[in-house]
Structure 1
Amino acid sequence: MLRQLMLSKKIEQRKAVLAELMDQENGLNMRSANLEAAIDEAKSEEEIAAVEEEVGKLDTEKTELTEKKTKLEGEIAELEGELEQLNSAAPVNSTRNKSNENERGVAGMNKLQVREMLKTGEYYKRSEVVEFYEQFKNLRAVAGGELTIPEIVVNRIMDIMGDFTTLYPLVDKIQVKGTTRILVDADTTPATWIEQAGALPTGDVGTITNVDFDGFKVGKVTFVDNYLLQDSIINLDAYVTKKIARAIAKALDLAIIKGTGAVGKQPTGIIPNVPAGNQKSVVADANLLKSLVKQIGLIDTGEDSVGEIVAVMKRSTYYNRLVEYSIQVDSNGNVVGKLPNLKNPDLVGLRVVFNNNMDDDKVLFGDFAQYTLVERESITIDSSTHVKFSEDQTAFRGKGRFDGKPVKPAAFALITITPVV
Structure 2
Amino acid sequence: MAKLKNTPASVGAGTKAGKIFAGAKVKDAGDRLSEKKYAIKGRDGNPLRWGSKNVETASEKDHAIVGVWFKRTMQKAGVPGITLTDWEKSLLADHVEKGRWVGDVAGAYYGGGADPSDYVPNTHVKALMDDTVSGGLFLTPYEFDSNIVTLPLLHSEVFSLCDVVPVSARRIDTARLNNLSLTWGQNPGTALTPFNTASLVSEIPTPTYPVAGAIELDNNMLVDSPVNIGAKVTELYSERLKAELDRVIVNGNGYNEPLGVTNTSGLVTVNADNGTGGPPTVSDYESLIFSVQKQYRQKDWNPAFVANDTSYRRARAIPVGPGDERRVMGMDNQSYTLLDYQYKVQNDIPNTRILFGCWKRYRAYQRLGSEVVVTREGRQLTLTNTTLVVIRARFGGQPIDPNAFALMTDAQS
The answer to whether the Cα contact below 8 Å between 1:194 and 1:200 also exists between their aligned partners in 2 is no
Q: Which residue of 2 aligns with 1:210?
A: 203
2:176 to 176, 185, 188: 185
What corresponds to 1:170 in structure 2? 161
Aligned match of 2:403: 410
Identify which of 230, 235, 243 aligns with 2:223: 230
Distance change >3 Å, CA 179–CA 286, structure 1 → 2: closer
Unaligned runs of 5+ in 2: 1-40, 79-131
Query: Deviations 1:166-188 (Å, cap 9, x if unpaired)?
Result: 22111112222123443433523
- Which residue of structure 1 aligns with residue 302 of structure 2? 308
Q: 1 CA distance for matches of 2:412 and 2:221?
A: 52
Q: CA RMSD in A?
A: 3.6
Deviation string for 1:285-344 (max 9, x for gaps)? 5771123312322222x476753321001011111x11124x7699998899842241x3
For the Cα contact (< 8 Å) 2:280–2:411, is it kept in 1?
no
Q: Which has the higher strand share?
A: 2
State the alpha-carbon separation in 2 of the partners of residues 193 and 336 from structure 1. Answer: 47
> Contact 1:274 / 1:410 at 8 angstroms: preserved in 2?
no
Partner SS, residue 278 of structure 1: strand
1:282/1:415 contact within 8 Å kept:
no
Q: 1:398 aligns with which of 359, 369, 391?
A: 391
Q: Structure 1 residue 227: deviation in Å?
A: 0.7
Letter in 2 for 1:315: D
Q: Does structure 2 conserve the Cα–Cα contact (< 8 Å) formed by 1:258 and 1:269?
A: yes
Aligned partner (choices 230, 239, 243) of residue 246 of structure 1 = 239
1:76-155 map, 5 Å: 76-77=46-47, 80=49, 84-85=52-53, 111-112=55-56, 114-115=57-58, 117=59, 121-124=60-63, 128-129=65-66, 131-141=68-78, 146=137, 148-155=139-146
Give yes or no for contact 2:267–2:405 (8 Å, CA) kept in 1.
Answer: no
The residue aligned with 1:351 is 342
> How far apart are 1:245 and its partner, in Å?
0.8
Distance 1:144 1:250 in 2: 32
Change (3 A) 1:396 1:285: closer
Shift of 1:408: 1.5
Query: Structure 1: which 5+ runs fail to align?
Result: 1-69, 86-109
Identical-pair percentage:
17
Aligned-pair distance for 1:190? 5.7
Range with bigger deviation, 135-144 or 210-219: 135-144
Show the counterpart of 2:258. Answer: 267
Confirm whether residue 381 of structure 1 aligns to residue 378 of structure 2.
no
Deviation at 1:395, TM superposition (A): 0.3
Query: Structure 1 residue 271: deviation in Å?
Result: 0.7
Question: Are the structure 2 counterparts of residues 143 and 242 from structure 1 closer, same or farther at C-alpha, using a change threshold of 3 Å?
Answer: farther
The 1:240/1:183 distance shift into structure 2, 3 A limit, reads closer
Report the residue type matching 1:311 in the other structure.
Answer: F
Q: 1:79-105 CA deviation, whole Å, 9 max, x = no partner?
A: x47x633xxxxxxxxxxxxxxxxxxxx
Amino acid across the alignment from 2:238: A
Deviations 1:185-240 (A, max 9, x none): 35235656899xx9993247863221112221100111111111112223322321
Structure of greater Rg: 2
**Contact 1:186–1:209 at 8 Å: present in 2 too?**
yes
Normalised to the residue count of structure 2, the TM-score between the two structures is: 0.64
- State the shift of 1:251 in Å: 2.4
* Separation (CA, whole Å) in 2 of partners of 1:158 and 1:215: 16
In 2, Cα distance between equivalents of 1:357 and 1:351? 18
Give SS of 2:394's match: strand
Assess, with a 3 A threshold, how the Cα gap between structure 1 residues 130 and 419 changes in structure 2: closer, same or farther.
closer
1:339 to 327, 331, 334: 331
Query: Which letter maps to 1:111?
Result: V
Structure 2: which amino acid aligns with 1:367?
Answer: C
Distance 1:165 1:176 in 2: 21
Amino acid at match of 1:132: W
Specify the SS of the correspondent of 2:282.
helix
Higher helix share: 1
Q: Distance in 1 between matches of 2:207 and 2:371?
A: 18
After TM superposition, the score normalised by the length of structure 1 is 0.63
